[in-house]
Structure 1
Amino acid sequence: NIHSQAKKGRKERKTFEKLKALYRYHRKSGVEAILHKKFQEKKTKAAGGIPQKPPSVQKCIFTEGGVKCGERTLPSAKHCMKHILK
C-alpha cells in the first residue's frame, strides 16, 4: 500500500502529494456529492432496486448425451478450448 510506505526524500513526498491531489481531482464534494448520490439511488430504484451486475461468464454450449460442458468459452466463441480443438 502506497500510504503505509515511508517517504524517504523530499522528491518522494512531493510525488506522493501530487498523486493524492490527482486522486481527489474528480471527486465530488458538497452539494454536488449529495446530488450525485441521490441520482445514483434514483437510478438504482428505477432499475427495480436491483444493482447493476457485470456480464456473466459465457459457458461452452457443447452437449454430449444430454450433459452440458461447463467450461468458459474463448472470447467471441461459443465453445471452450477443448471442444474447439476436438
Structure 2
Amino acid sequence: MGMVKLIEPHDEGELALIKSLLEGNDIPYFVQNEHFGSLYPGLALPFNARVVMVDESDIGRAGTLLGELTAERRTDEAG
C-alpha cells in the first residue's frame, strides 16, 4: 500500500507531538519536507509545508489517535 497524507502540522511543537504519538503507537510515518520546512521561517507557503504521511492501512488508526488534535484545529479555524 502507498503513503497518504495524515496532517499538516502548524509548527515544530505540533510536529513533535504528532511524531511522538505515532512512534508510541508503532505507526510508521514519513514527514515530507521535514528539514526543508524549517529552513525558511515566516510565511507558511505550500513549497515548504511539512506533511505527515502514513501507510494507507494505518490511516484509520492514526486518524483516531490524532482525533482530538484535529477536532481542536477545526474548532479554532471555524472561529
Normalised-by-shorter TM-score class: under 0.3
Q: TM-score, normalised by structure 2?
A: 0.23
Larger Rg: 1
Identify which of structures 1 and 2 has the higher relative contact order when contacts are C-alpha pairs closer than 8 Å and 6+ apart: 2
Q: TM-score, normalised by structure 1?
A: 0.21
Please state which structure has a larger fraction of its residues in strand. 2
